[in-house]
């Protein structure tokens, strides 16, 4: 989904025409790879036996929905068609992005499972692509206000596009039986601490099995929502998902709290906008040993194009950190990898003539001076406190030396990724949420216009 958000952000910046196509029964058009043979027992009315009375199996010749390789099989088919029919140039950074030349103009196609997002200079180029795709895949043209289930509000003249998941949010609230509940202002109560000690013991697990199944279902739906358009839910869902195997009553209460927050913020999404120049920046943060069961720290990062989040993550670190500097450095190394990915995508857009070549490093904002000082060291000597983290240290430092990324200090209150690592009080959480999803800029703009009018 990162590629979709990046493509939409750049489409708004470049004032491109957006079209959406769906391929019905897409997976059944593809064939499994030659080294994979799948056999199934037929339905009773199709049952046959050989001369020895042994029951015959049917070999699957086409991919089917539910097969583990179906998505990869269809992607291989679609890639082959685009490369042969359009002489497309496949991205070396993201294999789901393709650049094609139509009517002497360059267009972009982004694949997501069986949906295609087409970005073109004008509607005529989009129609040329659609007609050729229709001949092969019998595609359907989707409404432009819905993209892969997202609600889209696009004002091309003003250069503003908003994506949200309001319909899915309503479904989640209804399935939890909380349609008439009282909303709350944060996904989890401030300073929430969870533990596996609240999980039921063996004799209670059977009695709570129905609740556990419902818990897993709701957490899965929330995770889907958080990964697409709701980074404000991501930290809460990451915490709740740690107890999917054996949730207790306290965990279920926190899940209901999260859904009560969702009920009051169903229309929250991400807003992309056009600016005079493309702006790319990132934020990285980490808490310190706040998971009391493992004492691991939580990494959070956000990358924005023109003030709207396109890449974001919140997850437990894989190892225990011995200091806040080490935890922050771990987060910086993970964020650096995403920064390099984004930079390569922008370079490919520049190679195709959509953007100027980037000449400055990607800036990552960090709120820990010790981490920035450690990265900026020019000698190879490591202190006893940092000797064991040299691998990540050298990776990040090398990318800084190469001029690909840079690190800048920002106060904690301005570090957008702070709300991806901990449960914040309402004022700070809502401020960072609005800065993350791009809505704060609109509010500040309206406030500035009102102030100017009042002064006249």
Beta carbons within 10 angstroms of residue 233's beta carbon: 26
Residue 356 makes CB contacts below 8 A (sequence gap 6+) with: 350
State the residue for tokens 């996904």. Answer: 187
Average pLDDT, the chain: 89
Q: Is residue 58 part of a domain?
A: no
Q: Is residue 412 part of a domain?
A: yes
Q: Is residue 17 part of a domain?
A: yes
Confidence at 379, pLDDT banded by 50, 70, 90: low
Confidence at 410, pLDDT banded by 50, 70, 90: very high
Averaged pLDDT, 276-301: 95
Q: Is residue 340 part of a domain?
A: yes
Among the three residues 97, 113, 148, which one is the final residue of a domain in this structure? 148
Helix (DSSP H) and strand (DSSP E) numbers for the chain? 13, 17
pTM: 0.90
DSSP three-state, residue 295: coil
Confidence at 205, pLDDT banded by 50, 70, 90: low
What percent of the chain has a predicted confidence (pLDDT) above 90? 70
- Say whether pLDDT at 109 is over 70: yes
* β partners of residue 98: 90, 109
* Per-residue pLDDT, 39: 78
Q: Is residue 11 part of a domain?
A: yes
* Per-residue pLDDT, 426: 95
Distance in angstroms (rounded) separating the CA atoms of residues 393 and 391 = 5
DSSP three-state, residue 222: helix
Among the three residues 264, 294, 320, which one is the final residue of a domain in this structure? 264
* Per-residue pLDDT, 383: 67
Averaged pLDDT, 79-106: 94
Q: Is residue 43 part of a domain?
A: no
DSSP three-state, residue 409: strand
Q: Output the domain CATH number for residue 98.
A: 3.30.70
The answer to whether the CB of 335 falls within 8 A of the CB of 329 is no
- Say whether pLDDT at 385 is over 70: no
* Per-residue pLDDT, 367: 95
- Say whether pLDDT at 450 is over 80: no
Identify whether residues 233 and 313 lie together within a single domain: no
Q: Is residue 333 part of a domain?
A: yes
- Say whether pLDDT at 258 is over 50: yes
More confident position, 456 or 90: 90
Residue 48 makes CB contacts below 8 A (sequence gap 6+) with: 42, 55, 56
Identify whether residues 255 and 296 lie together within a single domain: no
Q: Is residue 47 part of a domain?
A: no
* β partners of residue 398: none
φ and ψ at 309, to 5 degrees?
A: -70, 130
Among the three residues 235, 264, 293, which one is the final residue of a domain in this structure? 264
DSSP three-state, residue 404: coil
The answer to whether the CB of 245 falls within 8 A of the CB of 251 is no
Identify whether residues 10 and 130 lie together within a single domain: yes
Residues 128-153 have pLDDT tens digits of 999 999 999 988 887 777 777 788 99
Strands 298-305 and 405-409: unpaired
**How many domains, the chain?**
3
DSSP three-state, residue 325: helix
Confidence at 380, pLDDT banded by 50, 70, 90: low
The token pair at 94 is: 């993201």
- Say whether pLDDT at 281 is over 70: yes
Confidence at 261, pLDDT banded by 50, 70, 90: very high
Averaged pLDDT, 180-193: 95
* Per-residue pLDDT, 209: 78
What's the domain range around 339?
278-423
Segment among 235-239, 244-248, 363-367, 421-425 with least mean pLDDT: 244-248
Q: Please tell me what DSSP assigns to residue 207.
A: T
Identify whether residues 392 and 318 lie together within a single domain: yes
Identify whether residues 346 and 399 lie together within a single domain: yes
């Amino acid at each position: 989904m990162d590629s979709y958000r990046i493509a939409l952000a750049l489409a708004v910046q470049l004032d491109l025409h957006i079209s959406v196509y769906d391929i019905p029964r897409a997976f059944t058009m593809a064939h499994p790879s030659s080294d994979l043979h799948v056999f199934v027992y037929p339905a009773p009315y199709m049952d046959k036996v050989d001369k020895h009375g042994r029951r015959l199996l049917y070999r699957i010749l086409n991919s089917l929905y539910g097969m583990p390789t179906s998505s990869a099989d269809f992607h291989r088919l679609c890639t082959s068609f685009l490369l042969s029919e359009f002489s497309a140039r496949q991205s070396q950074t993201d294999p789901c992005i393709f650049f094609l030349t139509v009517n002497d103009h360059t267009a972009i196609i982004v694949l997501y499972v069986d949906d295609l997002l087409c970005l073109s200079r004008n509607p005529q180029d989009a129609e040329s692509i659609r007609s050729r795709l229709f001949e092969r895949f019998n595609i359907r043209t989707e409404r432009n206000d819905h993209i892969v289930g997202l609600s889209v509000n696009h004002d091309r003249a003003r250069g503003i596009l908003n994506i949200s998941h309001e319909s899915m949010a309503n479904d989640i609230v209804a399935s939890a039986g909380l349609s008439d509940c009282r909303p709350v202002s944060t996904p989890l109560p401030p300073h929430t601490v969870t533990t596996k000690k609240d999980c039921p013991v063996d004799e209670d697990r059977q009695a709570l099995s129905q609740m556990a199944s419902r818990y897993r279902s709701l957490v899965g739906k929330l995770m889907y929502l958080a990964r697409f358009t709701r980074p404000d839910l991501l930290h809460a869902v990451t915490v709740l998902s740690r107890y999917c195997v054996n949730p207790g009553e306290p965990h279920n209460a926190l899940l209901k709290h999260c859904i009560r927050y969702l009920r009051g913020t169903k229309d929250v999404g991400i807003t992309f906008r056009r600016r005079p120049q493309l702006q790319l920046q990132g934020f990285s943060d980490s808490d310190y040993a706040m998971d009391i069961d493992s004492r691991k720290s939580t990494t959070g990062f956000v990358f924005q194009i023109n003030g709207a989040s396109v890449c974001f993550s919140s997850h437990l670190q894989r190892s225990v950190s011995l200091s806040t500097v080490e935890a922050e450095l771990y987060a910086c190394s993970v964020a650096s990898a995403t920064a390099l990915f984004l930079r390569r995508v922008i370079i490919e857009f520049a190679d195709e003539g959509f953007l100027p070549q980037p000449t400055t490093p990607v800036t990552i904002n960090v709120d820990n001076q010790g981490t920035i000082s450690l990265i900026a060291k020019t000698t190879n000597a490591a202190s006893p406190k940092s000797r064991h983290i040299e691998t990540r240290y050298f990776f990040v430092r090398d990318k800084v030396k190469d001029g690909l990324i840079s690190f800048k200090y920002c106060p904690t209150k301005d570090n957008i990724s702070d709300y991806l690592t901990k449960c914040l009080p309402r004022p700070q959480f809502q401020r960072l949420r609005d800065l993350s999803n791009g809505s704060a800029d609109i509010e500040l703009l309206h406030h500035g216009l009102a102030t100017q009018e009042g002064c006249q």
